[in-house]
Amino acid sequence: MNLSLSILEFAVIGAGLAILLADLWTPVPQKRNLGYAAAAAVGLIFLASMLMQAAAPAYAFEKMYVLDGLALFFKRFFLFAAVIVLVMSVEFADRIEAGIAEYYALIMFALAGMMFAASANDFILVFVSLELITVTFYVLTSFQRGRLHSLEAGVKYLILGALASAFLVYGIALVFGVANTTNFGELMGSARVASARPVFLLGLLLVLVGLGFKIAAFPFQIWAPDVYQGSPAPTTAFLAVGSKAAGFILLLRVLFSAVPEITVNWTKLLMVIAGMTILYGNLCAIPQRNLKRLLGYSSIAHAGYMLLGVAAMNSAGSSAILYYLGAYLFTVLAAFTVICVVMRGVEGDDISAVAGLHQRSPLLAASLSLAMVSLAGIPPLAGFFGKFLLLKAVVEKGATQPGCYWLIAVAILGVVISLYYYLGVVRAIYWSKGSAELSDIKVSWPIQVSLYACIAAMFYLGLFPDRLVNIAMEAVKALKL
Amino acid sequence: MLPWTIYSSFVGVVMLMLLPREQARAARVVALFTALIGLVCALAGALQVQAGSSVAELCRLEWIPSLGIDYHLAADGISLTLVVLTGIAAVAGILFSWNIEHRAKEFFAFYLALIGGVYGVFLSFDLFLLFVFYELAIIPKYFLIAIWGSTRKEYGAMKLALYSFVGSAMVLIGLIAAYVVAGAKTMNLVELASYPFPASFQYWAFPLVFVGFAILAGLWPFHTWAPTGHVAAPTAASMLLAGVVMKLGAYGALRVAMTLFPLGLKAWQIPFGFLAVTGIVYGAMVALVQSDFKFVIGYSSVSHMGFVLLGLMTINEVGLSGAVLQMFSHGVIAGLLFGVVGRMVYDRTHTRELAALQRMNLSQAIPYAAVTFLVASVASMGLPGFSGFVAELQVLIGAWHAFPTFGILAGVGILVGVAYMLRTLQKSFFADRAPGGQQHGHSLESISVAERVGAALLMGTSLVIGLYPRLLLDLIVPSFHSPLFDGLRKGAGL
């Protein structure tokens, strides 16, 4: 038992508790600023995580918990995302009637759940960490108690999330029933024997359903647009980045370190899911007028692109997912930060609310446009290189699996469709007739800093991808590919 | 020297972004200055780099070592020709948009970004880098049309962006496939061109990449973005679109699709030759019945780019060098034609309907425009003395060797070309004054100095190349003996 391995998680939980406690002594007008303290604390933990090394995998809690390169990569990812989301929440604070400190604390608890998920090496930890994430998100989505949309989002997320959790836990029970273990390392040894039993496969499929819900993959994507639209903007951002990435790390762990022998037979299934997810997300995004809802559909599409990397079943594919997530992190956070600032007092989050944004605040306009262009996958921004790596991985797979070429055609179709609606947003920003509101928007300095950081990262990852590619390649060595 | 064509353009973009918003005049001056630096670099580079029958290295740095991708700039005669064309077109385009007042600094920033991307494509010898520059040009194109355009600009801009994007997506898949098949070690153009790709792979990879590029070159039946895009675009953008952006497509088809996949080329020579000829004849026929002045020029571009593609499909030295020369020639002439239509006529009369122009007696109102358009149409028809003649003649000779039927059909296309240019010339400038027609004569502002200089630059270029084509042919022809075309010589019998 080696508790020191999970020091980062404990630090996050401790900081979250400290925020809750500090709330008791903080006068009401100052409560908002607790968010900056939270962001600073998480930022420090992020910097501390940079000092950690994970050359060889180290285990804790009876091998339930693993700290390897992959886990560390994702922990840093989640920590960085949480910093930006917390800064965003401070900006959002005046739209939340009461309990802003709890909002910050819940974000940090969700963060802890994600960080545990990154290290999951046992189905029990998978379930527990996912529940920690999901249950906190039930609250986070419906935090604006006065808004009907927010409540609706919360209820939808609760019902469908509970259903997905039920699938997951039922699947885990079946797996345990056959294999007599929930540990990934032991499962790998017994999987070949157990895989003869259909009940075992059924159990794994149910686990996949539960994870598919997390990443919003077709056909478990139904909740995403409604929840994205109704939730407070910082929640949506964290859902889009953190929750999705947590789903992917768990998916990678389950598929490629628990049952790699079985996963090999599921190539076609994964390919179909990837293709359908891409098409569904992109096609449904076309007619959307609500910016958050549009990003909800686009996040489904991006889950589809990342599933390409899973379906490729090679280390190129998995490292491409990691790279893609890195690019997606900065891009989506930039977009949601802008939405959070601009949509103040706007009901409906309609795209027309960003009309003429370039006159109101050039920085916000540039950030949102660059985010859209990066999501569309146009160089020299980060999104392009991610797609390049994913496509390359699938093409490599194509040598043995000719169906991959169809998948590529579908992916390309999706990318082309997506250009249409992303450019629509950019067009609204720079060029639209009759925008009602033209007053300047004040952007606070922490928001400015996070936007500049996101923009710089988008360009850096797009222009100098080598470093992150190497890190990602190193990280996926933890998987049995 | 040559890489500075790219860098100076992007430096210009940054400088423009730093300018205060109201300074339209300063923006123009900065843009013109930047474009001139680009042109000077291009010309100096063309004189300095003695490419001959080899590829002159300009710059090679490791970029993404884990994937074998380099920042690799190099040039041969073909690149040099097109870089010089880009320089000339860029300067002329700015001179022709001297009257832009609406958000001038953004206009020129997008304009220079587009130019920088184009220079980059022509000088990249790493396929990944080439692709990055190629895609970089999409967004500025979209904005130039969507914000500053005219007739159905949203539709035209989106159509152009989507067509370009579909094309580049096809190219991307082809490039990744080639990269993976060749062992995923290098994206270097010369190394990949010498890699023996299996024939079965080439049979589908060639059409994928070729069509992907050729969409942007206006390959029939994927040309429909071109007329609408050209018409919707503001003058400078349509000059660039027709002048250099369409050349990107043709250049990519030659540089990438043909050199990488010679066996595929051989197999698809006749079908694509047929599409090219269809484009020539179809474009000319449609141009013959247009009522909008700019649509005539738009369809004429499709027709003339058909010659480029036909020249490429001949796979012999005469045809190929004719194709490259035609790229240059059409770039200059189309720029001139769009300049006359968009800036000299439309900005003054606010109509492009030939029927309306017919009543305006323009040859007396703006004689300089009339003379310019006369020269441009004569050059466009392919009369001796202008660059179009040399280029199209070479393509026809090449086509005659490769597929005589197509050669004859292309000849018919030239005849129709004479017909529609004469019709347009007559209707636009030299119509008899209709009784009761508008007396527009004295109300039109006279042709400005900037326009005169721009027009003279383009006319002079076409004339010089027409009279002394060896200036460019000495650059172009030896390039086909470089190692890059080894595969094409062996595989497709160049």
Main-chain dihedrals φ then ψ at residue B428, nearest 5 degrees: -80, -50
> How near does any CA of chain B get to the CA of A435, in Å?
15
**Of B66, B162, B172, which has the smallest distance from its Cβ to A466's Cβ?**
B66
Contacts for A157-160: CB closer than 8 Å, 24+ residues apart: A157/A223, A157/A227, A157/A231, A160/A213, A160/A222, A160/A223
Collapsing DSSP to helix, strand or coil, A383 comes out as helix
Rounded CA separation A341/A220 (Å): 31
Q: Which residues of A touch B166 (CB under 8 A)?
A: 416
Are the CB atoms for B485 and B494 separated by under 8 Å?
yes
Q: How many structural domains is chain B composed of?
A: 1
Rounded CA separation B429/B349 (Å): 12
**Of A392, A416, A431, which has the smallest distance from its Cβ to B166's Cβ?**
A416
Q: Give the mean model confidence (pLDDT) for residues A450-455.
A: 91
With CB atoms and an 8 Å threshold, state whether A379 touches B132. Answer: yes
Residue with tokens 């090219």: B276
Strand partners, B61: B71
Collapsing DSSP to helix, strand or coil, B268 comes out as helix
Q: pLDDT 10s digit of each residue in chain B, 494 long?
A: 888 888 888 888 888 888 877 778 888 888 888 989 999 988 888 888 776 677 788 888 888 888 888 888 888 888 889 999 999 999 998 888 888 777 888 888 889 999 999 999 999 999 999 999 998 887 888 888 888 877 778 888 888 888 888 899 899 989 988 898 888 788 888 888 888 888 888 888 899 999 999 998 888 888 888 888 888 888 888 888 888 888 999 999 999 988 888 888 888 888 999 999 999 999 999 988 888 888 888 899 899 999 999 998 988 888 889 999 999 999 999 988 888 888 888 888 888 887 787 777 777 778 888 888 888 888 888 888 888 888 888 898 988 888 888 888 888 888 898 888 888 888 888 777 655 555 554 577 777 888 888 888 888 888 888 888 888 888 888 888 888 888 788 777 77
Question: What's the whole-model pTM score?
Answer: 0.90
Q: Which two tokens stand for residue A467?
A: 């470093």
With CB atoms and an 8 Å threshold, state whether B131 touches A395. Answer: no
Q: Which residues of A touch B215 (CB under 8 A)?
A: none
- Give the number of other Cβ atoms within 10 Å of residue A155's Cβ: 16
Rounded CA separation B454/B448 (Å): 10
A315 pLDDT above the threshold of 70: yes
pLDDT value, residue A95: 82
The contacts of residue B209 (CB under 8 Å, 6+ apart) are B170, B171, B174, B175, B178, B252, B253, B256, B257, B260, B261
A324 pLDDT above the threshold of 90: yes
Torsion of CA A392, A397, A403, A407, to 10 degrees: -30
Q: Which residues of A touch B158 (CB under 8 A)?
A: 420, 423
Confidence at A352, pLDDT banded by 50, 70, 90: confident
Tell me which residues of chain A have a C-beta less than 8 Å from any C-beta of chain B.
373, 378-380, 384, 388, 391-392, 395-396, 398-399, 408, 412, 415-416, 419-420, 423, 427, 430-431, 465-466, 469-470, 473
- Inform me whether the C-beta atom of residue B40 falls under 8 Å from chain A C-beta atoms: no
Task: Work out the angle between the directed axes of helices A291-312 and A315-342 (0-180°, nearest 10).
Answer: 170
A277 pLDDT above the threshold of 90: yes
Task: Give the pLDDT confidence of A193-251 residue by residue, as tens digits.
Answer: 767 788 888 988 999 999 999 898 888 888 899 899 888 889 999 999 999 999 999 99
DSSP letters for A278-309:
HHHHHHHHTT--BHHHHHHHHHHHHHHHHHHH
A162 pLDDT above the threshold of 80: yes
pLDDT value, residue A455: 92
A481 pLDDT above the threshold of 80: no
Query: Parallel, antiparallel, or unpaired for β A58-60 and A65-67?
Result: antiparallel
The contacts of residue A319 (CB under 8 Å, 6+ apart) are A389, A469, A472, A473, A475, A476
pLDDT value, residue B3: 86
- Give the number of other Cβ atoms within 10 Å of residue B459's Cβ: 19
Main-chain dihedrals φ then ψ at residue B188, nearest 5 degrees: -65, 130
What are the Cα distances from residue A74, in Å, to A18, A239, A276, A311, A329?
24, 15, 26, 20, 11
B125: containing domain: 3-492
A7 pLDDT above the threshold of 90: no
pLDDT value, residue A26: 86
Q: Which residues of B touch A423 (CB under 8 A)?
A: 142, 158, 161
Residue type for A171, please?
A: G
Confidence at A436, pLDDT banded by 50, 70, 90: low
Closest CA to B163 of B228, B239, B222, B94: B222
With CB atoms and an 8 Å threshold, state whether A469 touches B177. Answer: no
Which strand (E) or helix (H) includes residue B56?
A: strand B56-64
Strand partners, B74: B57
Q: Residue A390's closest chain B neighbor by CA?
A: B176
> How near does any CA of chain A get to the CA of B441, in Å?
35
Per-residue DSSP letter, A258: I
Closest CA to B396 of B285, B326, B319: B319
ipTM of the shown complex: 0.86
Collapsing DSSP to helix, strand or coil, A481 comes out as coil
Q: Which two tokens stand for residue A169?
A: 């836990």
What are the Cα distances from residue B338, in Å, to A81, B333, B351?
50, 9, 14
Collapsing DSSP to helix, strand or coil, B361 comes out as coil
Query: Parallel, antiparallel, or unpaired for β B56-64 and B69-75?
Result: antiparallel
Q: Give the mean model confidence (pLDDT) for residues A293-302.
A: 92
Rounded CA separation A189/A144 (Å): 48
Residue type for A152, please?
A: E
**Of A379, A388, A430, which has the smallest distance from its Cβ to B136's Cβ?**
A379
Find which of A420, A423, A425, A463 to mutate to test the B interface (most B CBs within 10 Å of its CB): A423
Q: Residue A379's closest chain B neighbor by CA?
A: B132
Q: Which two tokens stand for residue B362?
A: 């323009």
The contacts of residue B354 (CB under 8 Å, 6+ apart) are B290, B291, B292, B293, B296, B424, B427, B428
Chain B from 91 to 130: CB within 8 A of any A CB: 128
Main-chain dihedrals φ then ψ at residue B352, nearest 5 degrees: -120, 5
